[in-house]
Amino acid sequence: MDNKKLTTGSGAPYYEHQDSQTVGARGPVLLQDFILQENLAHFVRERIPERIVHAKGSGAYGKFTVTHDITKYTKAKLFSQVGNSCKMFARFSTVGGEKGSADTARDPRGFALKFYTEDGNWDLVGNNTPVFFIKDAKKFPDFIHTQKRVPKTNLKSPTMMWDFWSLNPESLHQVLILMSDRGTPYGFRHMHGFGSHTFSMINENNERVWVKFHFKTKQGIKNFTNDEATKMAGENPDFAQEDLCKAIDNGDFPKWTMYMQVMTEEQAKEFRWNPFDITKVWFQGDFPLIEVGEMELNEVPVNYFAHVEQSTFSPSNLINGISFSPDKMLQGRLFSYPDAHRYRVGVNAHQLEVNRCPFAVNNYQRDGFMADSSHYQDKPNYYPNSFDDIRPDSSYKNFEYELDSNHVANFNRNENDDDHYTQPGLLYTKAMNQQDRENLVKNIIDHMRGIDGPKRDEIINRQLCHFFRANIELGMKVASGLSVNIDANMMNHSK
């Protein structure tokens, strides 16, 4: 067969790819060697800013299939009948580490899903945990700073992590999950995923319910112990990426079953906790899991950078019949996620293959870096106009609702909602078995031993009070492991 010609970026064929143009065999390189210039200039621009969080990740394409009827809850076309399916893309990630960090680090895992539907792309951007460390997005930059590096030393710091957690008891539920073996999952195939936030669904009758999304792995839960995760970080820091790619290449396609929990607006008003608080779960005994469908990952992207690194997800990418809630963390992410992608990838990131809706996209957005006009060409860039056939469809009108209050203020996120201990206590006593509890205590002790500096004792004692409030046994075991003498004053604080 005929060979393809080697060309420049503009398509001009050239021959001299390996030797620069010089004055004599040992002379200086000429500025006119534009091939050298083009290749070097492109090379030093091959990277885009890494994600501030979720920098290290893996991704794959797959298929989502609806297996159960939920039309009484939503008018989303994807769920209009059993058997409907769509292409999807999933990206899994660690949260705090940089792009070159180890896959097995103790960290939550991102669980971001993109469904390519006929009503647009739906992004469900969650984690492998049903809760989070904080309940208001205003606190997010401060929290993430504690998970990154100390500005002076550029080192990770258990001191600032535990300082922040001990000063924010709302973090306790997620801290216990993080410090358990669930904080070091065995790759991405063996962990559950959660939308984490409370979302809403609206049906054909314009009735709204609150929902939470769950994805249960069909491969079974499997975690590393702390020692195994540390060992694997040295042996193969890309373990999770390799595990995912190998499984798909071998035809062992990973699958998850999608479920949801449903809470009516009336139930939300009577719920023991704020149903929009991401530091809390809805008990499945009260709000049972409803099976929805199955997702299967079956295709490794042909180019990691183009598809996984340039993929963008945002909870603001919603489809008709699925909407948001007053969850303060979700409300903040509706802005911050698309804003992060406009900075990192560019204002036209949605035109890239991995992010592009494969169905109709008709709007009046134009120009900006890397604009591709192949779709809109010379069509008008304003509305209304007399020339195109784009018309708003009234069947997609937003759900209208009344708010409970018209009083504007900076409300204390914990006022009348400061029970940070009941659910962590139940996690310890009910959700974990004896081995889970032993590993949790050991992991906490090992991690808290890294706290140092003049505030060491103050931070440790403050955090111990939170452990005691959740469960006396947990507090006693951690205190003992850290050689802290328990006095009556500390016990009183824990009541």
Domains and CATH numbers, the chain: 1-46 (4.10.91.20), 57-154+181-345 (2.40.180.10)
Q: Which long-range contacts (CB under 8 A, 24 or more apart) does 264-270 make?
A: 264/209, 264/210, 265/208, 265/209, 265/210, 268/210
CA angle at residue 23 from 18 to 26, to 5 degrees?
70
Q: Please check whether residue 387 is in contact with residue 376, taking contact to mean a CB–CB distance below 8 angstroms.
A: no
Mean pLDDT of 416-442: 97
Residue scoring higher pLDDT (488 or 362): 362
Residue 316 has a CB neighbour count (10 Å cut-off) of 16
Q: How many Cα atoms within 13 Å fall on the side-chain side of residue 370?
A: 9
* Three-state SS at 283: coil
What whole-number distance in Å separates Cα of residue 223 and Cα of residue 178?
12
What whole-number distance in Å separates Cα of residue 152 and Cα of residue 169?
27
Q: Which residues pair with 125 in a beta bridge?
A: 112
Structure tokens at 477: 């075991």
Is the per-residue pLDDT at 495 higher than 90?
A: no
Q: Catalytic site residue 127?
A: yes
Structure confidence by residue, pLDDT tens digits, 459-488: 999 999 999 999 999 999 999 999 999 875
What whole-number distance in Å separates Cα of residue 134 and Cα of residue 140?
7
CA angle at residue 434 from 219 to 103, to 5 degrees?
45
Helical ranges in 254-400 per DSSP H: 265-270, 304, 328-344
Q: Catalytic site residue 439?
A: no
Average pLDDT, the chain: 95
Element (H, E) at 442: helix 434-448
Spot the catalytic one: 121, 127, 128, 443: 127
**Crossing angle, helix 158-167 and helix 140-147, to 10 degrees?**
150
Nearest to 276, CA basis, from 286, 268, 287: 268
Name the binding residues for heme: 337
Is the per-residue pLDDT at 390 higher than 80?
A: yes
Structure tokens at 383: 């509305």
Is the per-residue pLDDT at 140 higher than 70?
A: yes
Structure tokens at 101: 């960090």
* Three-state SS at 426: helix
Is the per-residue pLDDT at 30 higher than 80?
A: yes
What whole-number distance in Å separates Cα of residue 422 and Cα of residue 279?
11
Instruction: For residue 2, give the DSSP letter.
Output: P
Q: What is the pLDDT of residue 1?
A: 73
Structure confidence by residue, pLDDT tens digits, 176-215: 999 999 999 999 999 999 999 999 999 999 999 999 999 9
Alpha carbon 177 to its chain's center: 16
Q: How far is CA 226 from CA 182, 287, 299, 425, 439, in A?
A: 10, 33, 31, 22, 8
User: For residue 306, what pLDDT band results from cuts at 50, 70 and 90?
Assistant: very high
State yes or no: cis peptide before 151, omega within 30 of 0: no
Is the per-residue pLDDT at 361 higher than 60?
A: yes
Write the single-letter amino acid at 1.
Answer: M
What whole-number distance in Å separates Cα of residue 478 and Cα of residue 171?
17
Q: What is the pLDDT of residue 491?
A: 59
Is the per-residue pLDDT at 438 higher than 70?
A: yes
Spot the catalytic one: 17, 39, 54, 205: 54
Mean pLDDT of 224-245: 98
Q: What is the pLDDT of residue 220?
A: 98
Least confident among 133-142, 332-341, 367-376: 367-376
Name the binding residues: 337
| Residue 136 φ/ψ region, left for φ over 0, alpha for ψ in the -120 to 50 degree band, beta for the rest | beta
What whole-number distance in Å separates Cα of residue 495 and Cα of residue 289?
34
User: For residue 119, what pLDDT band results from cuts at 50, 70 and 90?
Assistant: very high
Q: What is the CA radius of gyration of the chain?
A: 26
Q: How far is CA 182 from CA 109, 129, 225, 254, 464, in A?
A: 10, 9, 9, 19, 21
Mean pLDDT of 428-438: 98
Residue 219 has a CB neighbour count (10 Å cut-off) of 17
Q: What is the pLDDT of residue 406?
A: 87
What is the percentage of the chain residues whose pLDDT exceeds 70?
Answer: 98
* Three-state SS at 181: helix
